[in-house]
Amino acid sequence: MTCKFVRIQGRDKAYRTQYPRGIFAMGWRLIQDGSMSPEDEKLFRDIDDWFKENLPEPVPCQNGETVITFFKTETTKVMLEKIAPAVALMDKYEQPYDIVYTNFVGNIVYEDEWQIAVRVEDGKMV
């Protein structure tokens, strides 16, 4: 079975989308709560910086729209390798998460070579 999209997400919902937080939001929450050690915080910030430098920020995200993002499975092998240490941090800090593979996302409002953004309303993709 081949799925087109993948998202790493927690089990608690984001305030704005009411959809499970993505891995970056999960990591930033741990930092804001003071839960990460300084070494782990530096590692997470380095991972976040790499993604900011190597992936365009989707326009809907820049505009503060209510969207969630997925990686495209066909073009993101390197990105999934780069994010693996962030996933390990979620394990270390006992943050439950799910790795969701799917072909069914709602209405795609942004797409580039590596990722898509999907509009969310009331915690559901539309």
pLDDT tens digits, residue range 16-37? 899 999 999 999 999 999 999 9
CA distance 101 to 86: 18
Q: Which pLDDT score is estimated for 38?
A: 97
Mean pLDDT in the chain? 93
- Mean pLDDT in residue range 36-55: 95
pLDDT at 126 over 90: no
**Residues forming a β-bridge with 67:** 119
CA distance 93 to 67: 26
Note whether 46 and 99 are within 8 A (CB): no
Long-range contacts of 103-107 (CB under 8 A, 24+ apart): 103/3, 103/4, 103/5, 105/5, 105/70
Enumerate the H helices of 3-70 as residue ranges.
23-32, 38-54, 59-62
pLDDT tens for 53-87 read 998 889 898 898 899 999 999 888 888 899 999 99
pLDDT at 1 over 80: no
Radius of gyration of the chain (CA): 14
Q: Which pLDDT score is estimated for 92?
A: 98
